[in-house]
Amino acid sequence: MNKEQAKKRIDELNRLTAYYATKYYDDDAPEISDFEYDMLMVELRNLEKEYPEFINTNSLTQKVGGTVKEGFEKVEHIVPLQSLQDIFSFDELDGFDIRIKKEAEENNIKLKYVVETKIDGLSVSLEYKNGNFVRGATRGNGQIGEDITENLKTIKTIPQVLKENIDIIVRRRSIYW
């Protein structure tokens, strides 16, 4: 692939991923499978890595998809909620394992893995003050999400009171109703 072809394909992938992300995140009407979308993103990341001069700041490799919905109070995240990294091959899994073990060893951290099947759900941040659940918010665009505290209070697996009186913000992935 030459530079002109790469630029054209990167532009096309940016249009496609933006369209499919809107259908999925904003319209709640996905048109392709998660795997098909992920493969478009992998191709885009690889091309941007090979041709960094064509990286667009609006590329979904550079930001989180989704927008803040109308009708909900907006919540600004203290720490941005970024997308989680996907792994699609045993080679990528081995690379992840090597990186994590190296970092754990350098920081004298004992390492254990917990692995679960990826199931689609909602990523949220849960905010506790003095051990009490005070606010829950969606990821939104990573910087600003929607306040869904009252909805989250109905989920039995989300503790309303912690065992310790601490202030903490927890990111929880895969919330289901």
> In whole angstroms, what is the distance from residue 150 CA to residue 84 CA?
26
Token output for 168: 């903490």
DSSP-derived letter for residue 22 is I
Name the catalytic one among 102, 118, 129, 153.
118
Query: Taking a C-beta distance cutoff of 8 angstroms, is the pair 91, 98 a contact?
Result: no
> In whole angstroms, what is the distance from residue 37 CA to residue 127 CA?
31
Cα–Cα distance list, 51 to 6, 23, 39 (Å) = 7, 28, 18
* Segment holding 49, helix H or strand E: helix 34-50
> In whole angstroms, what is the distance from residue 159 CA to residue 164 CA?
12
Token output for 6: 């790469």
Per the annotation, the verdict on 163 as an active-site residue is: no
Looking at the annotation, which residues are catalytic?
118
